Structure 1
Amino acid sequence: MTVDVDARLARKARTLPLRHLPNLVREPLETFEEMGREANGEIVRVNLGPFRPYLVTHPDHLQYVLRDNVDNYRREGMMWKPLGRLVGATSDTSPSWNIRRRVYQDLLSAPSTALRADEMTATIAEAVDDLGANAAGGRRVDAYEEMTRIVYRTIIRVLLGDRIPLSRIDGLGRAMVAATTSSFRARMLMPFVPFAVSLPGDRTFLRSVEAVDDLVFPIVREVRAREDDGARDAVSMLIRARGENGETLDDQAVRDGIVGLFVAATDTTVSVLTFLWDALDAYPEVRAKLYDEVDRVVGTGPISLDHVQRLPYTKMVLQEALRLYSVAWITPRVVREDDVIGGVRLKAGSTIAVSPFLTHRLPEVWPEPHVFDPERFAPDRSRHRFAFMAFGGGPHQCAGRVFFYIEAPLILATLLSRFRPTLETSRPIQPRVDITLKPREQVEITLQPVPR
């Protein structure tokens, strides 16, 4: 590597003290936020004993890591290592990942989305009907469980059509939730511990993965045996996909592609639509404005994809929920070669902790960051391109972004066109650290039918 003048003059990163380690185990998110305040947008190194990641939070630095010099920052280690046990290859250097990515791009294109719009809206309407029945008579329902059911039914119908019966979709949703909430916290906080050493949650994780496999592999084998060249479901498209040299995906890689899409297209939507009831309870003026827009645009329904473009405030509310709750709280990278960012020298092989959660709390970027204010996302507001990191940035943005901006407003508008939810759980709702942030405790809501 050629060392230029800037590199020779670069300084070492300031190191945050080891005193954070005990609290990081007991209260990881609170401690993480404290470290972010100490860093205040500066690149720092966090002393966690044998593990010392760099903390990178400022939008200027994120643009360099995620776009300008993206090839030097690999999706490896920390979060990606345990996630790989669930979804397979996550590195952009993996041949199977590059084949899968091209299929994802096709699936998420505007024409593909339009073809699936009617099926998506119909599935959401049926799922909300079931939610209304579950909550009839003022019964309390578990918001996270209900949002999981609605989102999974919607995404699985979009991705797999009728290849999996409705009775098994809810089981797949439960298995996926268990897989992403069992051992990820321990594995992410201690990435240096090998898989051969058991950590809390490992057994639950492995049982959940086995349950997912029992549902997905038979579908993959059945589709491969039929050889339906015209089918546009995700399994068929992954099976037909070819690499640059004609290579194909085996059953394991196809299974990984499907499960990876499930995670990308469901996890964020479920969590945001659960945390949102906390914000709407705390900010009645936002709630009133949201209800008014849905009543004016959707009325008594039925809702369609065309409504989404006519619900700008609904989108702003969802974006602010993405910012404040920052479900994808950390997306680490590994430094490939020595580099310099903002005058700070980064060593090859080190881990960079990119954190939307912390970036979304930088006061210089987001004034009064703990206030829920959808007007931050009004069309006339401007901000740094990498200030809003809900789905990452650069060429490797999360595939779930397209799904979220379609399914989340459709689900929310369908629900609010029929019911007025009331939060029955004491607020604020505290998040729990897993692969993404999820509510720490059960979030209960009741539903009051909208008078017509």
Structure 2
Amino acid sequence: MDMIAPGAEAGVPVRVPLVTKPMGVWGSFQTGRQNVLELIPEIALHQPIVSGRTVKRWHMVMDPGALRRILKDRVEDYPKSDVTKMILRPAIGDSMFIAEGAHWHWQRRAAAPAFSPRNVQALGPVMTAAAEIAAERIGQTEGRATNVFDEMVTTTFQVISDVTFAGGRAFDREAVHHAINSYIESTARVSFLDIVGAPSWIPRPSRLVTGSAMRAMKTMADQAIEDRRGAPDHGIPDLLDLLLDGEDPETQRRMSTSELRDNLLTFIVAGHETTALSLAWALYLCGFDPAVQDRARDEAKAALGDRAATVADLPALPFCRRIVDEALRMYPPAAFLSRTARAKDRLCGREVLPGDTVMLPIYALHRNHLLWPDPHRFDPDRFAGDASYDRFAYLPFGGGPRICIGASFALQEAVIILATLLARFRFTRVPGRDPRPVLILTLRPEGGVWLSVERD
């Protein structure tokens, strides 16, 4: 099925072609290997819930009230699905992202102080420095097409590695970057065995391919952590220092080396990939709508002049922040979540039984016609100060007690980098090179985000 091109609907950026007829198990597998989002039925954009059966019973939920129930009110009855855990565990073990119950609670409590507003703001200079380096690098491409997705990946990986292992000689950034990319490209794809609900002990061949790279990455991280334990005083505390100092206030438990490593790798994998995607899609949308880009540029220039943005500038950059918010609505990095029902329940009048798969298609939620007017249109002013929408209609970082612990970090970083770039450059779409939104583990722009760059 071909991508819906921007020209197919006036004023509509690229979007995913959704399902209009039944696929069956084999068709679902083939589609899921290429793009998980193409498993979503088109009717999900017009209804609060869609149910069906492939091998297991499943329900796709796009209703804010039901999502509040799943993610907040009865969160213990909807643990992350076995497929989610199988895909993520090879990279991030039993970190707080996939841990359940008491094991999740104590890790979250121990890590929470590291992501306090004060500590996130203190990491701002790292983001400002990376924004400046990115601007210098992009400036060298002036007058020609540039893949800004690659540029943003480089930039956000610099940020996350600098705030995670500052000065860590044992941390080979290139090797870690390569391992993460290999993992996402192959290991994180949906397997046929996942689709048919085969038990986790049956090996998934694709998840054996990058095993050695992942093992090397974990060994490297373990060594960096042990080095830091032996020589903790290296200047301004980074994320590793804050987590080493972290303690669950209820149990006084601290993270072991393996627990620290799994959580740090979670922040590295999620922290740079998701922010890079948010920025790449935001720049694509600015290229798509020059009037929005001009308005954001005027705001950024007025606030920054010729310098890079800092944390102190964020209150003067509300429109740049709204562009990031709208990019996260239209192209949420975590665009498809999955839970397994543990207890009998009712969602939107539908019976949910233990063992049912409950899908949270965030992409469809954010484009549901019952919740968002003209949902395929790019409109940052949806998020203006007087805008109103249900909290559980907008879930780029999840919701409830398990909302992404690094959300404020990601938003701060994204606005600093976006404003710095828009104040200096004009980005224009390259004809015939629009990206294709494809979900593997995250919602990536297949083919890159190619934009022409001109110094403003």
TM-score, normalisation: structure 1: 0.86
How far is 1:362 from its partner?
A: 0.8
Report the Cα distance in structure 2 between the residues aligned to 1:76 and 1:335, rounded to whole angstroms: 9
Residues 202 and 29 of structure 1: CA distance in aligned 2, closer, same or farther (over 3 Å): closer
* Aligned twin of 1:390: 396
Check the 8 A contact 2:397/2:403 in 1, yes or no: yes
The counterpart of 1:236, out of the listed 237, 241, 247, is 241
The counterpart of 2:120, out of the listed 100, 113, 125, is 113
* Aligned twin of 2:181: 177
Report the Cα distance in structure 2 between the residues aligned to 1:437 and 1:118, rounded to whole angstroms: 28
The counterpart of 1:32, out of the listed 32, 39, 58, is 39
1:101 aligns with 2:105: no
Check the 8 A contact 2:36/2:440 in 1, yes or no: no
How far is 1:171 from its partner?
A: 4.0
**Is 321-330 or 67-76 further displaced after alignment?**
67-76
The counterpart of 2:450, out of the listed 444, 447, 450, is 444
Give the AA of the match of 2:210: F
Q: Deviations over 1:270-289 (max 9, x none)?
A: 11222233322322221221
**Is 291-300 or 100-109 further displaced after alignment?**
100-109
Report the Cα distance in structure 2 between the residues aligned to 1:242 and 1:380, rounded to whole angstroms: 39
Residues 349 and 39 of structure 1: CA distance in aligned 2, closer, same or farther (over 3 Å): farther
* Aligned twin of 2:344: 338
1:433 aligns with 2:432: no
Q: Deviations over 1:249-295 (max 9, x none)?
A: 32221110101112332222111222233322322221221222112
Give the AA of the match of 2:377: V
Report the Cα distance in structure 2 between the residues aligned to 1:377 and 1:226, rounded to whole angstroms: 45
Q: Deviations over 1:269-323 (max 9, x none)?
A: 1112222333223222212212221122222124221111111111111111111
* Aligned twin of 1:362: 368
TM-score, normalisation: structure 2: 0.85
Q: How many residues in Structure 1 have an aligned counterpart in Structure 2?
A: 430
1:146 aligns with 2:151: yes
* Aligned twin of 2:5: none
How far is 1:38 from its partner?
A: 5.0
The counterpart of 2:66, out of the listed 61, 66, 69, is 61
* Aligned twin of 2:17: none
Q: Deviations over 1:199-224 (max 9, x none)?
A: 46434432441342243121012122
* Aligned twin of 2:218: 213
Unaligned runs of 5+ in 1: 1-15
1:416 aligns with 2:422: yes
Residues 76 and 246 of structure 1: CA distance in aligned 2, closer, same or farther (over 3 Å): farther
How far is 1:83 from its partner?
A: 1.0
* Aligned twin of 2:207: 202
**Is 336-345 or 251-260 further displaced after alignment?**
336-345
Report the Cα distance in structure 2 between the residues aligned to 1:148 and 1:181, rounded to whole angstroms: 15
Q: Deviations over 1:60-107 (max 9, x none)?
A: 211111122222211242223311221121444355533432243212
Report the Cα distance in structure 1 between the residues aligned to 2:406 and 2:238, rounded to whole angstroms: 17
Report the Cα distance in structure 2 between the residues aligned to 1:303 and 1:45, rounded to whole angstroms: 46
**Is 119-128 or 361-370 further displaced after alignment?**
119-128
Identity of aligned residues (%): 25
Report the Cα distance in structure 2 between the residues aligned to 1:192 and 1:367, rounded to whole angstroms: 37
Residues 130 and 172 of structure 1: CA distance in aligned 2, closer, same or farther (over 3 Å): farther
Report the Cα distance in structure 2 between the residues aligned to 1:38 and 1:173, rounded to whole angstroms: 36
Check the 8 A contact 1:303/1:410 in 2, yes or no: yes
Give the AA of the match of 1:192: G
Residues 252 and 405 of structure 1: CA distance in aligned 2, closer, same or farther (over 3 Å): same
Q: Deviations over 1:317-361 (max 9, x none)?
A: 111111111221112122121112222211112221012111011
Q: Secondary structure at the match of 1:74?
A: coil
* Aligned twin of 1:327: 333
Q: Deviations over 1:113-165 (max 9, x none)?
A: 222222331233124323434x25x3543322211110011122123222258
How far is 1:395 from its partner?
A: 1.1
Report the Cα distance in structure 2 between the residues aligned to 1:428 and 1:119, rounded to whole angstroms: 31
* Aligned twin of 1:407: 413
* Aligned twin of 2:9: none
1:375 aligns with 2:385: no
CA RMSD of aligned residues (A): 2.8
How far is 1:423 from its partner?
A: 3.2
Question: After the TM superposition, which residues 180-191 of structure 1 pair with which residues of structure 2 at under 5 Å, given as runs?
Answer: 180-187=184-191, 190=195
1:19 aligns with 2:23: yes
Check the 8 A contact 1:391/1:401 in 2, yes or no: yes
How far is 1:29 from its partner?
A: 4.5
Report the Cα distance in structure 2 between the residues aligned to 1:232 and 1:392, rounded to whole angstroms: 28
Give the AA of the match of 2:127: M
Q: Secondary structure at the match of 1:236?
A: helix
Q: Secondary structure at the match of 2:83?
A: coil
1:162 aligns with 2:167: yes
Give the AA of the match of 1:266: H
Higher RCO (Cα < 8 Å, 6 or more apart): 2
Q: Deviations over 1:368-390 (max 9, x none)?
A: 21111111111111111111111
Check the 8 A contact 1:103/1:241 in 2, yes or no: yes
Residues 248 and 381 of structure 1: CA distance in aligned 2, closer, same or farther (over 3 Å): closer
How far is 1:47 from its partner?
A: 2.0
Check the 8 A contact 1:79/1:435 in 2, yes or no: no
Report the Cα distance in structure 1 between the residues aligned to 2:206 and 2:281, rounded to whole angstroms: 24
* Aligned twin of 1:293: 299
Report the Cα distance in structure 2 between the residues aligned to 1:331 and 1:199, rounded to whole angstroms: 20
Report the Cα distance in structure 2 between the residues aligned to 1:248 and 1:418, rounded to whole angstroms: 45
Check the 8 A contact 1:155/1:266 in 2, yes or no: yes
**Is 16-25 or 359-368 further displaced after alignment?**
16-25
